Structure 1
Amino acid sequence: MDFQQLCTFESFQKVWSHYGYSKKLQDVIEQEFTRIKGITYLDHAAAPLYPESLVRDFCMDISSNVYGEKSNPHSHNPSSKLTHDTVEHVRCRVLQHFNTTPEEYSVIFISGCTAALKLVAESFPWRPQTATEAGSLFSYITDNHTSVIGIRGLTSGQGVVTLPVPAGDVESRAKDPEPLGAEDSGCQTPHLFCYPAQSNFSGRKYPLSHVGGMQARRLYPACDHQGRWFVLLDAAAHVACSPLDLQKCRADFVPVSFYKMFGFPTGLGALLVRNDAAALLKKTYFGGGTAAAYLAGEDYYVPTASVSDRFEDGTISFLDIIALNHGFEALNRLTGGMADIQLHTFGLARYTYMLLSSLCHSNREPVAQIYTEGEFESPSTQGAILNFNLMDCHGQVIGYSQVDKLASLYNIHIRTGCFCNTGACQIFLCTTNAKVKRNLQAGHVCGDSIDIVDGQPTGSVRVSFGYMSTFEDCQNFLNFVVDCFVEKPVQVNQVRLERLRTAATSSSHGPSIQGTSGKTEHVEENYNPTEPLLNLHTDRALTTNANKQAGTYTLTNIYIYPIKSCGAFEVSEWPLGPLGLLYDRGWMVVNGNGVFLSQKREPRLCLIHPQVHLPSKKLLLQASGMDTISVPLENDSQLHTSQRVCQSRVCGDRVQTVDCGDEAASWLSEFFGQACRLIRQCSDYTRDMKKSAGRGVAALSLVNEAQYLMINRASVELIQKHMNSRQTELSADHQPFDVQNLMSRFRANLVITGVEPFEEDNWSHLIIGTTPFLVAGQCARCQMIGVDQETGAKAKEPLLSLSSYRNGKVTFGVYLTHQLQEDSVTASTLSVGSVILPDVSL
């Protein structure tokens, strides 16, 4: 049986019957999620997709009704009364969703889960530790979101002791509480314990019984500390795909974000507060609508009796709250409720886990290291999240940034990194505190693409399923892993797979499995009889020896890209400016919202061929089927006052730009069929290169990283040969890739020849003609190199072949910087044919 036979819907149905909400899910997808056609969206733990009917019904609602402001009790006009009544109805509906009532809980609407956590931190009656009193404790399971652990930033300044607790200690260190009448029975020092209902990292579900156990002081750390223990249950990840019953789990504080449930609206959450606990919260600041009475000239303030009104400062986001009504309607109409969603999503995640954990390379090494406490035994213990790192056939981790880039080629949306949960990341990746600090010193910060430091991963890959996820999403993801990361012929750990299959069919609501070992057992079956790929390292050595010509290094091509992400303009010689090649990436195209357009979003940018005409000081815009227009190459001071200055962003940097006028905007808008404008960087604005080891300091145009990008034709030819070898194995009718076409995809400024493939990676300095350059690092490539610069068509190559050849690295070409000498009489000029003198780094 090959892989395609294993990864079929029939195979899935044999181990999971709770799929599709007893109706045809495909009809729901076609009616409600037409915008994701061709996309495999597996990032629901971050933000699920909203159904189109939700937005449509909401828009019809606010278009048909007049909703006035509801920020305080002063307005009783019909529109304000309608808003008030609708908001109060939504409060009841929120509580009903969590199986509780207004008599037990209050709903405080707030901007999101993080804001709800901050509200608790600021309002909790903390008692500082003193010489005579132990004071309050802020305690939390280490597998918590950053926003929970961030509470200690407030408590530490108040003398409150922080107590992190490993998840296993909660029950293993539990003991019977002291009986009433003991010495500590009257102690009312308030403590706060925080834990997630579901880990946003691994999807592990923590026992909801921890709430009652902590409040009764049966569990650690409550059993070791006198006082009254309150529990904050972070439900943000849990409520996206699972029911939460607050009759059974009476947590004191429950923060939620509604976009995690419905996908819309964003920027709205709630803090569900148990009314018994709400009485202890302290309110210092008071905004509009929160006071029953106050005096402006005296420190006199009486809060309103309503818990919700007391903590909802100013005008609440009442239109977004009204949208929740339609969110609940859509969720129930499409799925039948949270219990059905839980079964549907768990089944997809579990099947993905079964196959991914059983996949092996041709040498029987496992393909994935999966970060989970168990083996997806039950939806009561595991959410619809699968967290992992992929491994090569030598057992080395493949960086998550590499996986993310290749997933984009397949239109698969995943999430990578540590997911704002450093504690879980450290636990599963076995990263010590000292290692985290060393990674920071090595330049790695949260959110960057530095995925491997000293051979160890800094994060992982997460796929997560939502209520509209389909089996095809699961299938597409698994096929992607096999296509890109598994050394052929694919092997399967048959013993493991059969054990997981048997366990899955033993219980329709949650199979029970003993053991959590992820070790590879004996492999008995091939997925695919395809022979292994060509030995690429041998291929590289042969090419290197054939091309080695010591001392012969020549500049063969010069390209400038006047408009960022548009077509290249090839020249035989060109002057150097203070920011790089003169006028290189001096302009860029933005959409109607002022957001920069790149070929990732709009590949047709490559079909625009700008040219710089130095004698007339004009930038010419040319494209097939369009009249040529021109834009002046003049200083900002000479621009007409009608051309507005604006701020834009490039690679996270804020840059000062100026609009190039309506003629260029109309031309671009006609070409793309959407509102666009042409902007250019202000000449008096300085944007400096990001500082990092070996990069130096230089002023930049609108480039991504450095002033110049240089590639080596020998390296292009080697990748071309590798691509053709791969494609020939897949199809006998394959048309060979053209070197010039491939070279254009890498969008270099300078192309050199006469050197060994990838020899440039080891250079530290070089001189082209008489002009010195500093090598500022290697260029990390993304899916944009898959855009054919002649047609705008997108493909998976050459990124797949580059990744395969470079053993997971997707770097190609090197960055250069050059600083003009202040005492130089004339500006430097680069010319094709110039000799290159490299200096190899040691």
Structure 2
Amino acid sequence: MDGVLAGKGGEWWVEVVATVRSWLGLVAGWKGAAMERGKGGRGVASWPEGEEEEGLEASSWRKREFLEGRRGEAYGYGGEIDAMRAAEFSRLKGTVYLDHAGATLYSEVQLRKCLGKLERSVFSNPHSGSSKGGGGSFEAARAATLSMFNTTGEDYYCVFTSGATASLKLVGESFPWSAQSSFLYTKDNHNSVLGVRNYALDQESEAAAVSVSAGSDGRFDIDALGPLSRPSSPGRGRSKRRGGGGKSVNLFAFPAESNFSGVRYNLDVVNELRGRRCRIGGRTIGGGQEWFVLLDAAKACCTSPPDLSKYPADFVAISFYKIFGYPSGLGALLIRKDSAKVLQRKYYGGGTVKVSVAEEDYFRRRDEEDGWEDGTLPFLSLEAVHEGFEQIRKLSFQKIEDHTSALTEYTAREMDAMRHCNGERVCEIYGRHTPGSKDTKAAFEVGQGPVIAFNLMRSDSSYVGYKKVETLGEARGIVLRTGCHCNPGACSGFLGLTPEETRLNFESGHSCWDDKDVMNGKPTGAVRISFGYMSTFEDADSFLEFLRGCFLERQEPLSRDLTGGANGTTTSTTTGELALSGIFVYPIKSCQGFRVRGSWPVSESGLFLDRRWAIADESGAILTQKKVREMTQVSTDVDASRTELVLDAPGMVPLKVSIVGGADSSALRERAGSWLSSFLGRKCRLLETSCDGGNFSNQGGCLLVSEESVRNLLPDDDQEAVSKACMRFRPNFLVKGGAPFQEESWTRVSFGKAVGLEKVRECGRCGMIGRDLLDSLNKKRKNLNFGVLLSLSGGGAAAPQAEVAEGSSVTFS
């Protein structure tokens, strides 16, 4: 995976101009004018006197430049994109959606048509004799799906499933694996494909990740990247392989387009493999080997579906929500009819048999698609497939491909041109964004889809953690994807991670979806943006401005903390002895808390009553400020005897409920749930943790925040501003004195003589602290951690019935 963007194309002046613009992107006083262009390139910028363009005007200038460029004509469906976006995607106002590889968006017009059909019609179970609707819609959906691939029901079955993963699983569990079989798959594959190898290994089949390259004679060479074995799994291995002759039935799997990087693969492999013209392990496929091809087309179908009339893969997996957003939970497996006979299904469900005898092992499966579709199909969702395809037909896949390619090429070029003040690259981009590569893999890696996978780098060449990019983007309404994107092979290949490093990272605590984004100096994943048919230039421009504003270093950093951990910023000197200046308790998660006057009990579970309750919706999902902003207006307090909880909110009569245990506990939850439902305008209930321990804190422990650290983040040394900013971090313990970020080096903290707590970890921050504080953290820290989580359970000690008191001295070690 050596496709890191080199940025060495022939039109070098394009990069020069883009580089200069990246340095000047946020500088006020930009002068605007269209660039004069010759054929195939840009000319020299002409800046008319007296015309200042900032903000939206600067964006307008960049858009004019883009539209007059070499890909401008491909963008926007002949000028219709802005009107379509306003009429059909109005909900995107304030949001920059760049995760179309994860799930594209449905049109509001499309959805209204679907709901209108459901309102006007009666649909019953399609297996019922009196069924209304369903049958005709099913066949129409099958025909539309096959048409997308330029094929028909004469050559392929279209079997509806719950999605691409279910389709891949169906092939894996039905394939006739044996000790003579091989399952080969390209390293760049989704986890849902890698899971198929478990079926192969269970039947003693050989399984291996492979590379594909072009030989000097033009044939494809498929070579294993290493043997795959499971020594820890008894019964699995190759001890029974190749014991006798006979024909071997084998499966080769690859994606039409990588969901990680957007790299597109040469579908000629389908014909070469089916025609036994490939070499596997240096040998031409023998006559006794029968090969079938499993094609993961889930990502490719977003913009450029494979043409099965030219590349007749045996099995093709897709998901409809990747294509037109709605419905989700519905996909298809296309099975080439002359290959269907090889699959051997064991299970059968309702609707898949002609006859079944309960008392005997006797059944006969239905023919064609009906024999594969277990149970009742999601017939209401299938009604929506027609409207989805109509949405695509209005534009055509070719125009969608042109539109998204124009945005991708522009954005990747601008990203590649970004340089820090010392000339170091800002973006490390993965994929085939630079055409014309001459290596042998180029024969297999033939193009680039509308995806940009990348990592960001600082001026010292260290990596910016992808979680930081995600958090800062979320605060600006930018939706993107981070991690390995369920494609460990492509991820490790581009990032240079060996299998041993991947295992060591896991053993050191890293797993999918956690925040350990850089380990031992290497990223564990990447940031991914992807464009869809309704994406606009403004989406791309907003994203690029986000990168320039948050990550482009325009001057050398001065005494700046680039480590974020124990090497805290020390730009301010110690301000005196440390003291506990405030204690805060938040009885209900995500609601306002109260300040303790005097002292307060503390135990292994934290401060008494802290996050003891949480608000849940009807399904039991816990609500937070991110989901329900009105929760920030709910204030909480406790009476002097600590036996009553008081709730208040604008326009509501304050509610007092007993917090004594026993029967009163359920009464509290019932009364408070009703009160909260009334204020929040939604049915909800109050959940309670055990009185003996535990709370609803996201990261656990009591949060300690330093006033001096907060002061370091603010532009002005104003005590009122510092006090307000401190509360945005929702601390339990507020400490005054010492040096900024000194607390991050502590391992143990004591308040007075009675209470000692141990550091659990630093607290990761999200956009709820506010974009200004988040941006300040970004400028001053290598990560977005702020505050320290403390706990007694880590070995700290407290006297029986210990209470921590405001004003206590703070000591640490």
TM-score, length basis structure 1: 0.81
Change (3 A) 1:205 1:555: same
Counterparts of 1:176-575 in structure 2 under 5 Å?
A: 188-221=247-280, 224-226=284-286, 227-306=289-368, 308-333=369-394, 336-375=395-434, 381-488=447-554, 535-536=559-560, 546-547=573-574, 549=576, 552-572=577-597, 573-575=599-601
Matched, 1:618 2:636: no
The one of 69, 93, 100 equivalent to 2:144 is 93
Deviation at 1:356, TM superposition (A): 0.2
Partner-residue secondary structure (3-state), 1:315: coil
The amino acid of 1:284's aligned partner reads K
**1-side partners of 2:332 and 2:202: how far apart?**
26
SS in 2 for 1:373: coil
Of residues 187, 199, 215 in structure 2, which corresponds to 1:154?
A: 199
Structure 1 pair 338–830 and aligned structure 2 pair: CA distance change class (3 A): same
Residue matched to 1:838: 812
Does 1:9 pair with 2:63?
Answer: yes
Distance in 2 between the 1:546 and 1:29 partners?
53
Q: Gaps spanning 5+ residues in structure 2: where?
A: 1-19, 26-31, 33-57, 223-244, 438-444
| Superposition deviation, residue 710 in structure 1 | 0.5
Q: Deviations over 1:191-228 (max 9, x none)?
A: 10000000001100001111101111222428544311
Q: Report the Cα distance in structure 1 between the residues aligned to 2:251 and 2:334, rounded to whole angstroms.
A: 16
What one-letter code is carried by the residue in structure 1 that aligns with 2:480? I
Q: Identity over the aligned pairs, expressed in percent? A: 36
CA contact (8 A) 1:711 1:750 kept: yes
Distance 1:27 1:152 in 2: 47
Q: 1:166 is paired with a residue of what secondary structure?
A: strand
SS for the counterpart of 1:381 is strand
Quote the residue 2:130 is aligned against.
Answer: 77
1:812 match: secondary structure: strand
In the alignment, what sits opposite 2:629?
A: 603
Judged with a 3 Å threshold, the aligned counterparts in structure 2 of structure 1 residues 740 and 101 are, in CA distance, closer, same or farther, namely same
Shift of the alpha carbon at 1:190?
1.2
1:811-838 CA-to-partner distances (Å, cap 9, x unmatched) read 1111111159999884111111111221
Secondary structure in 2 aligned to 1:360?
A: coil
Structure 1 position 326, deviation (Å)? 1.1
Given residue 606 of structure 2, which amino acid in structure 1 is its aligned partner?
Answer: G
3-state SS of 2:698 partner: coil
Deviation at 1:172, TM superposition (A): 8.8
SS in structure 2 at match of 1:462: strand
Find the aligned partners of 1:571 and 1:772 in 2 and give their Cα distance: 19
Q: Is the 8 A contact 1:543 1:718 kept in 2?
A: no
1:433-832 to structure 2, matched below 5 A, reads 433-488=499-554, 535-536=559-560, 546-547=573-574, 549=576, 552-572=577-597, 573-615=599-641, 617-640=643-666, 660-661=669-670, 663-672=671-680, 674-683=681-690, 699-720=693-714, 723-724=715-716, 738-769=721-752, 770-786=754-770, 796-806=771-781, 808-819=782-793, 826-832=800-806
1:383 and 1:824 map into 2 onto residues whose CA distance is 59
Contact 2:592/2:633 (8 A) holds in 1: yes
Matched, 1:111 2:162: yes
Task: Give 1:122's match in structure 2, choosing from 173, 177, 189.
Answer: 173
In structure 2, the CA distance between the partners of 1:170 and 1:277, relative to structure 1 (3 Å rule), is farther
Deviation at 1:436, TM superposition (A): 0.3
Q: Secondary structure at the match of 1:583?
A: coil
Q: Using the TM superposition, give the Cα deviation of residue 338 of structure 1 relative to its aligned residue in structure 2, in angstroms.
A: 0.9
Q: 1:636 to 1:578 in 2, by over 3 A?
A: farther
1:170/1:219 contact within 8 Å kept: no
Note the alpha carbon deviations across 1:248-272, whole angstroms, 9 max, x for none. Answer: 1100000000110011111111000
Any idea what the Cα deviations from partners look like across 1:43-90, whole Å, max 9, x if unmatched? 00000111112221111112222222124xxx43252xx321221221
Aligned to 1:59: 115
Which one-letter code corresponds to 1:331 in the other structure? I
Counterpart CA distance in 2 for 1:384 and 1:66 is 40
Q: What whole-Å deviation, never above 9, does each CA across 1:696-737 have from its counterpart, x for those lacking one?
A: xxx5211112221101111111112xx449xxxxxxxxx998
Which SS does the other structure have where 1:473 is aligned? helix
Unmatched runs of 5 consecutive residues or more in structure 1: 129-134, 178-185, 490-531, 644-658, 687-698, 726-734, 787-795
Counterparts of 2:274 and 2:476, CA distance in 1? 48
What is the distance in 1 between the residues matched to 2:333 and 2:684? 43
The alignment partner of 1:585 has SS state of coil
Alignment partners' CA distance in 1, 2:154 and 2:219: 32
Deviation for aligned residue 1:533: 6.7
Classify 1:478/1:740 alpha carbon distance in 2 versus 1 (closer, same or farther; 3 Å).
same
Change (3 A) 1:611 1:542: closer
Give the RMSD, CA atoms, in angstroms.
2.7
Query: Following the alignment from structure 2 to structure 1, what is the Cα–Cα distance between the partners of residues 531 and 633?
Result: 37
Gap change, CA 1:798 and 1:376, over 3 Å in 2: farther
- The 1:478/1:556 distance shift into structure 2, 3 A limit, reads same
Distance in 1 of aligned mates of 2:351 and 2:808: 74
CA contact (8 A) 1:173 1:220 kept: no
Counterpart in 2 of 1:518? Answer: none
* Aligned partners of 1:118 and 1:151 also within 8 Å: yes
The DSSP-based 3-state class of the residue aligned with 1:555 is strand
Aligned AA (1:22): G
Match for 1:785: what amino acid? I
- Per-residue CA deviations over 1:740-771 (Å, capped at 9, x if unaligned) read 11111111100112212111111111221121
Partner SS, residue 453 of structure 2 = strand
